[in-house]
Structure 1
């Protein structure tokens, strides 16, 4: 029975990766590429290299993600990295088969709708425990090795993309690229979560089993706090764990598997001090 459930779950992830790749390709070939507006992350980097070399954007996107996928496989986790790369492969495929055919000549419409559709694609795959590859995998690796805010790394990458857009096409296109990046981030925030780090407080009577599962699969430290049910008067524990938004889906899976009756509260984490990792 458990194998059947796992098979259905894996099938759903493939379908989500397919849909996400389709949305990302539509965003690029129908809206952003015809308008000379760049997307965020490795997709934007692939667009820049495509303009410089004349090679297809999809091919360059796949090429850029191969070393990151190898690194993610070793440092992040097989499931997250595998489905992230599946999403990149679908995106590459659809970038190849969908013709570059703009619906509008209005650069503002292209920037906004490209950002909306691209953000929907990126947010959808994030919500299901994977990513659109590239920067997301690097961010998760950095999150596990550093206490520094991840927003700094995203800002640096996207700032480089905006500067490249300005140098290649002019400042007006750079500003429209900035608009696309903003719209994309807002859509991702609406679909998934705007917070890079989150705190989960899990009220459970299976604290030992959950703690072991967290150590094995999420690789995070856990703080255990004694608790008592206000209505049942039953002795329980609160497990407090800080995670990145990329690990939220995995955390939900673990809780559903180990203790479906647990009460979980996910709250925003604006800052942390101390060790945000478990050393190898």
Structure 2
């Protein structure tokens, strides 16, 4: 059973990762992308775009743009996930204000690639600890839950709008380098976290009833239960199969470790699903 001390250490670790991620993302923006006029993905790119039109700092704009998104996420996605996501946004805005904007190279390609990579590291690390960079992540999740389209489709559409807007408002070369930055970011996010938006968890446990109840308390996902028998000791077990998004991996891991520390969990990528996805479907 997870003790109170373990929970506190886990929360401190999560907050530490969020602080580090926010500082890393702000460094990538202020030292690479912003000096080169290359936009990042998501609402960070939107904040850069608006900053190029009106004299308000990118950090302040990022925070303001994420307030309505945080309210939406609080209602539609989950309170804890939204809280930690908005904390990451607020800290990123803070670091954007205190870290000076200073270009390290005049090569726009280097700025686009290295800026995209560094920002991606800062925004993807929190994904492993039950948070996100806010903004586009939450919007895409809400839109996906309201329709039958995958989350990735909304990421593509919303980021494409940023690229096209940059091309029409400023310069198409700048827009193409923005696309390079977004591509580099997406590759790093895949490497740091997981290559698929949806994953299938196969949990082999002797405490299926307890684990099922705990999962349904925290995740709105259906569970398929299958009987199983141990290959070495022939003990009776069950396999719980659940399809989740990559944002829910951290929560599922915590639930499993607390309900049954001896459970064996295998996470496999899911490229496509047919039929119901949410528990209330």
TM-score between both structures, scaled by the size of structure 1:
0.97
In 2, Cα distance between equivalents of 1:116 and 1:177: 12
The aligned counterpart of 1:142 is 143
In 2, Cα distance between equivalents of 1:117 and 1:159: 21
The aligned counterpart of 1:94 is 95
Deviation at 1:141, TM superposition (A): 2.6
The aligned counterpart of 1:173 is 174
Q: Provide, for residues 189-234 of structure 1, a one-character-per-residue CA deviation record: whole Å limited to 9, x for no partner.
A: 1100120011101111111111111111011110001111111101
The aligned counterpart of 2:249 is 248
Helix, strand or coil for the counterpart of 2:105? coil
The aligned counterpart of 1:271 is 272
Assess, with a 3 A threshold, how the Cα gap between structure 1 residues 143 and 252 changes in structure 2: closer, same or farther.
farther
The aligned counterpart of 2:108 is 107
In 2, Cα distance between equivalents of 1:44 and 1:135: 10
In 1, Cα distance between equivalents of 2:226 and 2:90: 44
The aligned counterpart of 2:217 is 216
Helix, strand or coil for the counterpart of 1:104? coil
Deviation at 1:169, TM superposition (A): 2.6
Contact 1:72 1:141 in 2 (8 A): yes
The aligned counterpart of 2:17 is 16
The aligned counterpart of 2:188 is 187
In 1, Cα distance between equivalents of 2:172 and 2:199: 36
In 2, Cα distance between equivalents of 1:214 and 1:106: 49
In 1, Cα distance between equivalents of 2:170 and 2:143: 32
Helix, strand or coil for the counterpart of 1:266? strand
Contact 2:144 2:154 in 1 (8 A): no
The aligned counterpart of 1:260 is 261
Deviates more, 1:247-256 or 1:74-83: 74-83
Tell whether 2:109 aligns with 1:116: no
Contact 2:69 2:138 in 1 (8 A): yes
The aligned counterpart of 1:45 is 46
Q: Provide, for residues 166-189 of structure 1, a one-character-per-residue CA deviation record: whole Å limited to 9, x for no partner.
A: 123311111111110010001111
Contact 1:38 1:44 in 2 (8 A): yes
In 1, Cα distance between equivalents of 2:180 and 2:159: 12
Helix, strand or coil for the counterpart of 2:125? helix
> Structure 2: where are the runs of 5+ without partners?
none
In 2, Cα distance between equivalents of 1:253 and 1:135: 25
Q: How many residue pairs align between the two structures?
A: 280
Contact 1:144 1:276 in 2 (8 A): no
